[in-house]
Amino acid sequence: MTKILVIGAAGQLGIELVLALQAQYGVDAVDISDIRVPEDERVMRSRFLHLDATDEYTLSKALEDGRYEAVYHLAAMLSATSEIKPLAAWNLNMQSLLNVLEAAKEGWVNRIFWPSSIAVFGGQTSKKSVPQEALLDPMTVYGISKQAGEYWCRYYHAKFGVDVRSIRYPGLIGHRSEPGGGTTDYAVEIYYAAAAGQSYTCFLQANQALPMMYMDDAVRGTLELMETSADRIQVRTSYNLGAMSFTPIEVTNSIQQHLPNFNVHFKPDHRQGIAKNWPESIDDTAARTDWGWKPKILLPEMTSIMLNAIRKKTQLAVH
């Protein structure tokens, strides 16, 4: 039986990936781990390992015992929190990755997925339709950790044959889990405010375009990448992945198609300083060519899905 471990299963992407992996491979095929216990009951149907991914001994023991076919290593501190706690972010983001790569080098893990981010781009990188091989010029601690992580992945693949695969995610927007500590979090919060009939105060500027993706596309893309045969994976740093690009005012307009009275105020904070260095849009030709990536959901459809799903979820919670 395929055995999979998701590290960071209580996070925004972790919850979603666990649900998708349970659906695809069965609840018993998936083990989950985190330093906090995931609140989602469906996620918790899988066996839970309470562990700190920076703890080399505990993690390597779990991986040696588990002999996993695939490990999805998602534990990380996101961009905005990392700027507040830079050394803790570096320690978590780097040490945990090295622990997983070392376990794979020992032969205890067959395949690793590790997420990178559009945050690897920055200062001197072009802003529009950023190519796969663009200059990486990260301006944040989070971006530096992702850039370094990408090169560690490529190094372990080239030197030790570790099959590690990666995607540079744009901002991820879904309704089953909530983000925390990221610069793109506004694009989830805005839907929750709108669905609750409240106005929203946006921490980015009205015209700050960023690359974004609906969560189901991101999860599907991740599983597709992991199912691709190794000889087709040409990029061993991390794949650019595009879907849509929008500004806070554009998502506001999209919501107003459904809720004409929805109101947004703009009060940019330190996160605007992070966002202004990130790309507006991404060229993902390499992912399309190598493993057939194609986004399905764009802004208008995502807005309907998000508003309906959040309304349904909150109504269920009330009754």
Residue placing its CB nearer to ligand SER in the complex, 157 or 271? 271
Task: State the Cα torsion 271-239-27-36 to the nearest 10°.
Answer: -30
What is the full DSSP assignment across 162-213? -EEEEEEE-EEE-SSS---S-SSTHHHHHHHHHHTT--EEESS-TT--EEEE
Q: How far apart are the first and last CA of the chain?
A: 40
CB-based contact 266:205 (threshold 8 Å): yes
Query: 235 to 264, contacts with ligand SER by CB under 6 A?
Result: none
Distance between CA atoms of residues 245 and 17, nearest Å: 23
Output the smallest distance, CB 146 to ligand SER, in A: 8
What is the full DSSP assignment across 79-93? HHHHHHSHHHHHIII
CB-based contact 211:280 (threshold 8 Å): yes
Residue placing its CB nearer to ligand SER in the complex, 173 or 297? 173
Active-site residue (options: 142, 186, 191, 239)? 142
Output the smallest distance, CB 144 to ligand SER, in A: 13
Candidate residues 38, 122, 171, 248; the one interacting with ligand SER per rule CB under 6 A: 171
Does residue 117 interact with ligand SER by CB under 6 A? yes
Residue placing its CB nearer to ligand SER in the complex, 38 or 170? 170
Stretch that binds ligand SER, among 55-63, 177-185, 254-262, 289-297 (CB under 6 A): 177-185
# residues contacting ligand SER (CB under 6 A): 10
Output the smallest distance, CB 103 to ligand SER, in A: 24
Stretch that binds ligand SER, among 84-92, 182-190, 199-207, 252-260 (CB under 6 A): 182-190
Secondary structure of residue 132 in the 3-state scheme: coil
Output the smallest distance, CB 128 to ligand SER, in A: 18
Does residue 122 interact with ligand SER by CB under 6 A? no
Told to judge if 151 belongs to the known catalytic residues of this protein, a careful annotator would answer no
Q: With b meaning 16 or more CB within 10 Å and e meaning fewer, what string describes 300-310? A: eebbebbbeeb
Output the smallest distance, CB 25 to ligand SER, in A: 26
Stretch that binds ligand SER, among 25-33, 44-52, 179-187, 219-227 (CB under 6 A): 179-187
CB-based contact 153:94 (threshold 8 Å): no
Candidate residues 177, 184, 245, 277; the one interacting with ligand SER per rule CB under 6 A: 184
Output the smallest distance, CB 78 to ligand SER, in A: 4
Query: 69 to 88, contacts with ligand SER by CB under 6 A?
Result: 78-79
Does residue 169 interact with ligand SER by CB under 6 A? yes
Distance between CA atoms of residues 85 and 249, nearest Å: 30
Stretch that binds ligand SER, among 61-69, 176-184, 225-233, 301-309 (CB under 6 A): 176-184
Beta strands in the chain (DSSP E): 4-7, 30-34, 47-50, 68-73, 109-117, 163-169, 171-173, 200-202, 210-214, 239-240, 244-246, 264-266
Tokens found for residue 49: 């390992």
Tokens found for residue 248: 């806070």
Output the smallest distance, CB 141 to ligand SER, in A: 11
Candidate residues 10, 21, 119, 297; the one interacting with ligand SER per rule CB under 6 A: 119
Distance between CA atoms of residues 187 and 82, nearest Å: 19
Positions marked active-site: 142
Query: Where does this chain bind ligand SER (CB under 6 A)?
Result: 78-79, 117, 119, 142, 169, 171, 182-184
